[in-house]
Amino acid sequence: MDIIQRAVGLVGEYAKAQEAHPREIKNDDGGCKVWKPPVEGSYKINADAAIFKDRTVGLGGVMRDAAGEVMGATCMHLEVELGVDEAEACAARHALQTAVEMGLRHIVLESDSLKVISHLLTKKGDESSFGNVVEDILWLGCFFSSISFNHVRREGNRVAHTIAQRSKEYGCMRVWMEEVPPEAVACVISDLALMNE
């Protein structure tokens, strides 16, 4: 009963958050070309997927604050075969799950997959495996005080892309607190430089 009451309460909080924080694509020109920080008090979560030659999948995510400081990063290598859209949705779900566990409250989820972001904005899931992952992401949104979704071009998603590309080397799921794996440091520094121009 406690779990059911908590779930009902979270759904109510989610509905109120949606009324107070409408979801919109902020970059309808196809996405921003550079990483931009979220507003003060919020965190931006970037997610990306990589499909390797052996058809396995890498997921990558990074969480940063309004100053561009890294709060955390994560990767996971999946020994499964997925389509591109489903892999991108799984990357977004994985990054969001990590953000829930980190206790982040106000977030912007950003991906270079226009299909994933479009489905999240329209709250459009379906009976496909892709649609089920979209519904998982929307459900995870209940755990945040506010959540919005944003499309970014690949150039603005380089940190998450690099982490996803390296996930195979790490094998199982990895989480870094207040840092990224060494291979992604240069991308973080580049984003900070562009942010301050």
Tell me, what CATH number does 116's domain have?
Answer: 3.30.420.10
What pLDDT is stored for residue 15 in this prediction?
Answer: 54
Q: Across the 197 residues of the chain, what is the mean pLDDT of every consecutive 10-residue run?
A: 62 53 42 88 98 96 97 96 96 97 96 96 87 95 96 96 95 94 96 86
Nearest to 58 by CA among 169, 134, 183: 169
Whole-number Cα distances in Å, 111 to 9, 39, 96, 157: 28, 17, 12, 7
Structural domain containing residue 6: 2-195
Total-model pTM: 0.84
Query: Residue 103 phi/psi, 5° resolution?
Result: 80, 20
Coil/strand/helix, residue 157:
helix
Residue 169 has, within 13 A of its CA and on its CB side, a CA count of: 9
Structure tokens at 54: 């052996």
**What's the start-to-end Cα distance of the chain, in Å?**
53
Mark residue 55 as left, alpha or beta (left: phi above 0; alpha: psi -120 to 50; beta: remaining). Answer: left
Whole-number Cα distances in Å, 119 to 2, 135, 138: 31, 9, 10
**Tally of domains within the chain:** 1
